[in-house]
Amino acid sequence: MAHIHDLTALEQAAAVRARELSPVEITKHYIERVERLDPRVGAFVTPTPERALEEARRAEAQVMESADLPPLLGVPIPVKDLNLVKDVPIRFGSATYEGFVAPVDDSVVERLRAAGTIMLGKTATPEFGLPCYTETDVSPPSRTPWDLTRSAGGSSGGAAAAVAAGLAPAAQGSDGAGSIRIPASVCGLYGIKPTRGRISFAPVVPDLAGLSTNGPIARTVADAAALLEAMAHNQPGDLYHAPPSPVGFLEAARREPGRLRIGRNATPVVPGAEVHPDVMAAYEEASRLLESLGHEVVDMPPAFDGSILAEFERLWFCFACMHPVDPSLEPRLRPLTRWLRERGFATPAPAFLQAQATLQTATRFAFLVMNDYDAILSPTVTQPPVPIGWFEDVEDPEETFHRMERFAPFAAPYNISGQPAVNLPLHWTGAGLPIGVMLAGRFGDEATLISLSAQVEAAVGGFWGDRRPEIW
């Protein structure tokens, strides 16, 4: 072992159980890396080193006193700054929430604590999690460690940047229109958007349309599976419940998937979205690899088309209004957020309900196509990582919004359908930029996706070809 951060999350947990590494030693290592490297990366909005060390000391005492230890004891896992951690400031990526301290824990944070993880800090997110890039007025931009002039994506951009730079072994994120898979793609990581209802948003955040879910971002499939296993739960009052998984997620990462029928499609649902040649190269490379592993890979018709776009936009406008903002502080909102909220507040309630009804109808017809396949392959995003500021180098926030749509047209349909989907970090451009591909699975069947992902990971070898950015 050269460095602690070379170990996977599961390797760190095993070293803690074997008393080869102490939770305090691991935590101090990451605190030092965050202090030294994060000014260049922009992963954290609120590091919590004192709290992390206090939790690590408690974990260390637990190792000495008990043989029955939580599965991820002593492993530092940061939390996205859209999620409440009691007594820790939360900004939601917005200057309008300066000074606000979370009064309670989100239930997923309680689950991570019960699994023994150490809360290393809060990772950066764009304002209210709305954009697919992490550039705010409350912290530096989140940058992909593969090229620090380029965006780490969003809205879990800080989480992905932290993991890719070796500032955390894995991270909690969330995904409402690709917000785990997009940053996983541009940061060269594995990320899972779970099935709708797999992870509760209790006690505060509503799950009205079921678009968004918490999920893991990690370097390896097994780490992500273990983190998903720790995070999965429901609470009274949840509107959605995922079907029980027939097998544990970590167990799924350790078994063969069998021969699968995989549909593939690279047609964006957003009119005018163009897929970059490097992205198409990644898509074709993934198709060949899946075929070489014995799977049937066939072209499939699009399950969704551009007719869903206007209705999805209507929902997105309305959900931009969910965070209460004191009217006197509204001038502190970013231009894109103001533009989205203006349209949301102008949307009549019947139009919102009709949008959701229309999307549900479209999903029912889409499943008639998708259920012919065990998994569906597509690009994750349409381009390699873009420069910091690229989305906003136009004066009109409406054009920024349409750039977002054209950059990430493949991800949101699975937030509409509620299916699980993952990003596989399979391809790097000639300039060394990561490009992911996406696999979506049947509703409730993360296990097959995880097994297939692990098979692909093993075929590629090492850490997805043993790649690490220079900052590592």
Q: Is the peptide bond before 409 cis (omega within 30 degrees of 0)?
A: no
What is the distance between the alpha carbons of residues 220 and 191, in angstroms, rounded to a whole number? 9
Active site residue 179: yes
Tokens 């800090």 map to which residue? 121
Listed residue (378, 369, 380, 374) closest to 296, CA to CA: 374
* 3-class DSSP state of 441: strand
Q: What does the CA dihedral 457, 244, 195, 300 come to, rounded to 10 degrees? A: 70
- Reduced DSSP (H G I as helix, E B as strand, rest coil) percent helix, strand, coil of the chain, to 5: 40, 15, 45
Active site residue 155: yes
Helix 9-17 and helix 221-231, axial crossing angle in degrees, nearest 10: 70
What is the distance between the alpha carbons of residues 150 and 143, in angstroms, rounded to a whole number? 6
Catalytic residue among 80, 174, 212, 245: 80
Q: Is the peptide bond before 22 cis (omega within 30 degrees of 0)?
A: no
What is the distance between the alpha carbons of residues 442 and 438, in angstroms, rounded to a whole number? 14
Active site residue 80: yes
Residues 6 or more apart from 423 whose CB is under 8 A from it? 180, 181, 184, 185, 189, 190, 191, 380, 436, 437, 438
* Ramachandran assignment for 217, one of left (phi > 0), alpha (psi -120 to 50 degrees), beta (any other): beta
Residues 6 or more apart from 457 whose CB is under 8 A from it? 190, 220, 221, 424, 464
What is the distance between the alpha carbons of residues 287 and 268, in angstroms, rounded to a whole number? 17
The secondary structure of 241-264 as a DSSP string is -PPPPSS-HHHHTTS---S-EEEE
Q: What is the DSSP letter of 116?
A: T
Catalytic residue among 139, 155, 245, 287: 155
Catalytic residue among 107, 142, 151, 179: 179
Listed residue (145, 390, 373) closest to 265, CA to CA: 373
Q: What is the DSSP letter of 75?
A: -
Catalytic residues: 80, 155, 179
